[in-house]
Amino acid sequence: MTIYPETENPLNLYKLLIGAVVPRPIALVSSLSADGIPNLAPFSFFTVASANPPVICFAPMFRGADGSSKDTLQNIRDTKEFVVNIVSEDFGPRMNLTAGEYPPQVNEFEVSGLTPLASEAVGAFRVAESRVQMECRLKEIVEVSSLPLGGSLVLGEIVRMHIADEIVTDYRIDPDKLAAIGRMGGPTYSRTRDRYEMERP
Ligand SMILES: Cc1cc2nc3c(=O)[nH]c(=O)nc-3n(C[C@H](O)[C@H](O)[C@H](O)COP(=O)(O)O)c2cc1C
């Protein structure tokens, strides 16, 4: 099968991409609206962009149905701040509850039962249940495409990183204690328990 993107339905391209680029880590992104309403949503188009300075990036897409902005993107445009929380197995189902397409006035901390924790350097709350929480200041938004299912790359500089003491030794995080989950296609997730080593040449 060979795909010619210029003639393909964008939804099919989306399905192929989320099936091919796997597993994807999940950023549970907390933000505040201009009016101060907390927002929480997961994003798996997510990775590290730089360690010096520490910069992470994730990509909210414009909604497939009507091309509108996700609340997270609008909030970050307005406030220039957010928190990325890493998702562990134990609160995966609560993370999933935050992914509903709720109107901007809905506080997904209340919908999901996840616990808001005040941040040190930014207004957005951290997720208390998360073992790694990264407080970020917006560095740049790259609008890759403004079409429905097009993405904006949000780059955030980490200004505070909180790691649960019990999961870290000498700056190394124990993956069993973090128990991060990843997203595959559709409703499928992966655990990070099945690992092996390969020495680099
Ligand atoms: C595990 C998971 C990963 C997701 N990753 C993305 C993503 O990378 N980009 C995106 O636009 N939506 C993604 N979504 C969907 C958003 O979370 C969903 O549209 C959410 O309602 C957006 O919330 P907001 O409007 O409050 O920002 C994901 C959903 C789940 C469950």
The 10s digit of each residue's pLDDT in 46-64 is: 999 999 999 999 999 999 8
CA 149, 154, 158 angle in degrees (round to 5)?
150
Give a yes or no: residue 135 inside a domain. Answer: yes
CATH number assigned to the domain comprising residue 141: 2.30.110.10
Q: Which of 199, 176, 197, 187 is nearest to 88 (CA)?
A: 176
- Name the residue type at position 51: A
Residue among 14, 70, 108, 144 whose CB has most ligand 1 atoms within 8 A, to mutate? 70
> If you measure from the C-alpha of residue 96 to the centroid of ligand 1, how many angstroms do you get, rounded to a whole number?
9
Q: Which atom of ligand 1 is nearest to the CA of 183?
A: 1
pLDDT, average across residues 22-30: 98
> If you measure from the C-alpha of residue 161 to the centroid of ligand 1, how many angstroms do you get, rounded to a whole number?
23
pLDDT of residue 108: 98
Number of domains, the chain? 1
Contacts with 66 (C-beta within 8 Å, 6 or more apart), sequence order: 148
State how far the Cα of 57 lies from the Cα of 5, in Å rounded to an integer.
24
Give a yes or no: residue 11 inside a domain. Answer: no
Residue 53's domain comprises 23-180
pLDDT digits (tens, 9 = 90+) for 98-137: 999 999 999 999 999 999 999 999 999 999 999 999 999 9
Give a yes or no: residue 128 inside a domain. Answer: yes
